């Protein structure tokens, strides 16, 4: 019995409700961690809600020219977490991440709260990836209500692992003055929705790609509250004046390349998503990121 047999549990649904039709570079696990939610809890139920939503969307990506259904993703189920211990659960997520590197070329994670990204990055440390962090919030608090391991301090903990030159925040618009001061003093690059609208998608993406020039590997983290609540109301901490789906998908199509070793989608709270549109958008986001990555990997093989 291997580690994945112990720490990963099968689920009633798999993403897309179909098994991969051919060898796929993508392997997926859900991470139903919902321990440090500070406003609207319930993201532990998101992996299943997103899977169910994915069974009822179409899979062709106009931006990438890829039919995701031709590849799919190997969905292994959810990480088996326990009530109570944040440290033990994060340790399990890290160990599962390390194990997944041996069976999949590219990793996909469905949260769960954003703190899971910290544990995932710990599992990817040997690659020292550059983190492209889509979020309404900086998540740069040193602690939140005395808790250093919190969804509000995820990026601060990641910075401690990788350094400030390995993170770029996109869509940020909700933060404390101390977080903003820390980001500026540490030289953490970021783009607010206001800046993206002024600069335009191509110039915004050019700045991200320029920052990526030093990166051998990249990792993408998408907090669903980066979207405006008009498009994604069912999140833990919604904030007005967010990105629309077309903007995020366009940026993804311009910055994702073969260096991407994985990505996560986090912070959907199904109990606050009465119409299911947030889970649907999360599923579509997974398809768009995956399709762009597949297109890049196919291009590499053709050369």
Where do we find the tokens 């912070």? 267
* pLDDT of res. 303: 52
Contacting residues for 191 by C-beta, under 8 A, at least 6 apart: 169, 170, 171, 172, 199, 204, 207, 208
Cα separation, 180 vs 121, whole angstroms: 23
Any bridge partners for residue 75, and if so which? 28
- The structure's pTM equals 0.96
Cα separation, 245 vs 18, whole angstroms: 25
- What are the residue ranges in the chain where pLDDT is below 50? none
Cα separation, 282 vs 259, whole angstroms: 22
Where do we find the tokens 């196919």? 298
Instruction: Enter the tokens of residue 214.
Output: 């030093």
Specify the fold of 3-302: 3.40.800
* pLDDT of res. 20: 87
């Amino acid at each position: 019995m291997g580690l994945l047999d112990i720490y990963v549990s099968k689920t009633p649904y798999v993403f897309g409700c179909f098994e991969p039709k051919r060898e796929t570079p993508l392997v997926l696990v859900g991470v139903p961690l919902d321990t440090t939610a500070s406003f609207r809890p319930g993201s532990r139920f998101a992996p299943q809600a997103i899977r169910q939503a994915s069974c009822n969307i179409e899979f062709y990506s106009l931006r990438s020219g890829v039919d995701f259904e031709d590849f799919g993703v190997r969905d292994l189920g959810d990480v088996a977490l326990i009530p109570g211990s944040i440290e033990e659960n994060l340790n399990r997520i890290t160990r599962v991440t390390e194990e997944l590197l041996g069976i999949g070329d590219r990793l996909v994670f469905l949260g769960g709260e954003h703190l899971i990204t910290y544990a995932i990055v710990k599992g990817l440390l040997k690659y020292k990836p550059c983190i492209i962090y889509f979020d309404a919030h900086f998540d740069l608090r040193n602690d939140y209500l005395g808790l250093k391991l919190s969804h509000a301090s995820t990026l601060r903990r990641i910075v401690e692992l990788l350094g400030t030159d390995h993170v770029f925040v996109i869509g940020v618009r909700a933060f404390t003055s101390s977080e903003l001061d820390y980001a500026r003093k540490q030289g953490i690059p970021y783009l607010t929705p206001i800046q993206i609208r002024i600069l335009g998608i191509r110039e915004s993406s050019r700045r991200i790609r320029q920052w990526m020039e030093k990166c051998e590997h990249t990792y993408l983290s998408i907090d669903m509250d980066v979207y405006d609540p008009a498009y994604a109301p069912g999140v833990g901490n919604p904030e007005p004046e967010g990105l629309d789906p077309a903007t995020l998908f366009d940026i993804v199509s311009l910055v994702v390349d073969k260096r991407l070793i994985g990505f996560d989608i986090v912070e959907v709270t199904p109990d606050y998503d009465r119409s299911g549109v947030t889970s649907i958008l999360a599923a579509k986001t997974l398809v768009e990121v995956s399709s762009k990555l597949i297109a890049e990997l196919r291009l590499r093989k053709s050369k």
